Amino acid sequence: MAKDKRIVFIVNPLSGATGKKHIVKLIEAQLDKNLYDYDIVRTNYVGRATEIAESASRHGVDVVCAIGGDGTVNETARALVHTDTALSIIPCGSGNGLARHLHIPTDPAGTINIINSAETRLMDYGIIDKHPFFCTCGMGFDALVSMKFAQSGKRGPLTYLENILRNGFQYTPEHYKLTMEGEDGKQITCKAFIISCANASQYGNNAYIAPKASVYDGMMDVTIVEPFNAIDTPQIVFQLFKGTIDQNNYVKTFRCRKIHIHRSEQGFIHYDGDPVMSGSDIDIEIIPKGLKCICPPTEGVKDVSENLQSMIVEHFYTIYSQSEEILQNNFKKNQRIFKINKDIIRKLAKKR
């Protein structure tokens, strides 16, 4: 029987914390063979996923599935923009930002069922400094954390939180001038801890930097986190994971399609968590409906259960306790603030 579609699975054997052999077995067992002819190809160097996806698209493959984390998804998706080949994702990385936003299950069997449905949707993507991104990009402290996270031997939300705490109190916010396309070139001058430009709602690990973002609306959600006091850190981190950071008094948000950002000197930016050095002038834009994707019909922030909220607080408290000695050695004058922070987190954990 002739199959209707062809699909290529790109496996990054190094992403995430678990092996991929069980996923390959699930594909062999559960993929709809009446619908798809399939091939499985493994990457062996950075950029290989892009090469595989480009070749597949040129040869008329209907779907290319990225099996890995946000880096593998970015490498794959950038080769598929403005083509007839759809992206699908089996998430097994450390953050899985785009997959989580699209409500693609982290259970591979559930994801294969979505692939079997073969329902495609046209989603937006972004470009920062000529680098395509599909989830988020930005500069400031989150770019620094992306760099530290990329250098870490461990992955996952605890490593992410640890890097926030280890570097947050030492980071000096920068001055920026933002110019939006349209609106008569409206400008914002600010001092910011973070500037995030989001196509999707989260960094990954359910850390929602732009809770109202949508990959279908042709707009980017810009989040400016202004400098804040150390005592406010627990609340900001808690709201980041709860999906309510846009309600914080230190956070300003707006939406636009294209933006130019000027800063006083060059520094790191990130695109989908991948850090890269960039200049003092940065252009960012959203390209509407540029990528076909196989995904569920819903997207965005999921309701955070009380149990998950408790886990977030407890994890934050654990990392804070581990980091406190380092922070106190560097900032002895702030010992009283550290104690207040710890007390706040302990009280939040008890309330959960």
Residue 108 is which amino acid? P
Residue 352 placed within a domain: no
Residue 303 placed within a domain: no
Pair (86, 142) in one structural domain = no
Structure tokens given for 8 = 């290529």
Q: How many CB atoms lie within 10 A of CB 349?
A: 17
Pair (113, 165) in one structural domain = no
How far apart are the C-alpha atoms of 58 and 83, rounded to whole Å?
Answer: 9
Residue 145 placed within a domain: yes
Residue 240 placed within a domain: yes
β-pair partners for 123: 291
Pair (47, 163) in one structural domain = no
For the chain, the distance separating the N- and C-terminal CA atoms, rounded to the nearest angstrom, is 56
Pair (112, 139) in one structural domain = no
**pLDDT category, 303, cuts 50, 70, 90?**
low
Residue 51 placed within a domain: yes
Residue 173 placed within a domain: yes
- The CATH number covering residue 68 comes to 3.40.50.10330
Residue 272 placed within a domain: yes
CA distances from 43 to 24, 68, 70, 127, 335 (A): 14, 10, 14, 24, 48
Say whether pTM exceeds 0.85. no
SS3 at position 120:
strand
β-pair partners for 281: 262
User: In this predicted model, what pLDDT tens digit does every residue of 217-262 receive, in sequence order?
Assistant: 999 999 999 998 877 887 888 888 889 999 999 999 999 999 999 9
Assess whether pLDDT exceeds 70 at residue 325.
Answer: no
Structure tokens given for 54 = 């480009």
Tell me which residue has tokens 């500037």.
Answer: 195
Question: In this predicted structure, what is the pLDDT of residue 181?
Answer: 82
β-pair partners for 259: 180, 284
Q: Which of 232, 266, 281 finishes a domain?
A: 281
Structure tokens given for 161 = 């939180």
Q: Which of 261, 281, 301 finishes a domain?
A: 281
Domain range enclosing 206? 131-281
Query: Of 269 and 241, which is predicted with more confidence?
Result: 269
pLDDT mean over 161-165: 58
Number of folded domains that form the chain = 2
pLDDT > 70 in the chain, percent: 75
Pair (276, 151) in one structural domain = yes
Closest listed residue to residue 227, CA positions, set 208, 204, 250, 254: 250
Pair (169, 36) in one structural domain = no
Pair (136, 114) in one structural domain = no
User: In this predicted model, what pLDDT tens digit does every residue of 86-102 receive, in sequence order?
Assistant: 999 999 987 899 999 99
Q: Which of 281, 305, 327 finishes a domain?
A: 281
